[in-house]
Structure 1
Amino acid sequence: MVAELPGFETFTKRMVPLGKNPYVTVQKRGLLSFNKAAHAALGAPEAVELLYNPQARLIAVRPVDVDVPHAYKFRSVGGQKNEGATLLVAATAFTNYYNIPTEVSVRRPVRIEDGVLYIDLKDEGTVVTSNRAATTSNSGDS
């Protein structure tokens, strides 16, 4: 047990405001990638449901209990549960069903209203490419 220090407050990472604006990337093959700010704006749920308005070309994402049959659970990139992790929702069936383009990965800002996150597909967003460096083999040339 740690002794109390009168007059001191314990600093926690939760006290630091999130520095990034909320973004979601619709990745190739239909994964939805939420930055930490987007996940936090939803209330950091374990799972969400996905809704689509084809006329407005808007995806709506709202928190649901993990026991809901149509819930999509968040998972961390690489399975790591760290504070800065990007979180993924495997939405391939959703993007395929609604013919949402996934040929290239596109990051878009989102808006949050009444606990619902909206992704506007009319927003061109920013095409993103992998930040993984291409590996090249060294043939021993010096």
Structure 2
Amino acid sequence: MKDNCINLIKNARIGISKIMIAQPDEIASSEALLGCAFPLDYKDFIGEVSNGIAFGRIRILPVLSKKNLKKTGDSISRNNNINTSIWFNGDSNALSSFLIFATEESYACFAFKKDSDNSVWYWNINSNTIEQLDYDFWEWLHVTLQQEKDSIG
């Protein structure tokens, strides 16, 4: 699944914006700031494929990079901070239990349950529930990239 995702990203002709991969110290710094370890698949993505991407309506959040503040300022740390996050309607319990790693414009987000596996969870602004999807990170990314590719044309 990982290889399929990488191929979709490499072969995208329009609408994709990648960021130079995250360095191990940048990942460790973000993990320390958030007080949790990132799931291995997400860490693998940002450290080997791209430190975040924007593709259609979807953004995979980057870790903050001092070398690229402009593209990484709206980082995973910022989106998971109770003082700056727009997600989960400001519910501090949800923000402390989940790690938001991707957004769909400004109305939905995707998260991992902290200290859990790679299962992807979904929340949108019209709902007060966080739903577990039937995907791990790479499965979610493959389906999402394919859907966005199809909608872009």
Q: Could you tell me the TM-score, scaled by structure 1's length?
A: 0.26
The structure with the largest helix share of the pair is 2
Higher share in strand: 1
Highest RCO, 1 vs 2 (Cα 8 Å, sep ≥ 6)? 1
Taking structure 2 as the reference length, the TM-score comes to 0.25
Higher-Rg structure is 1
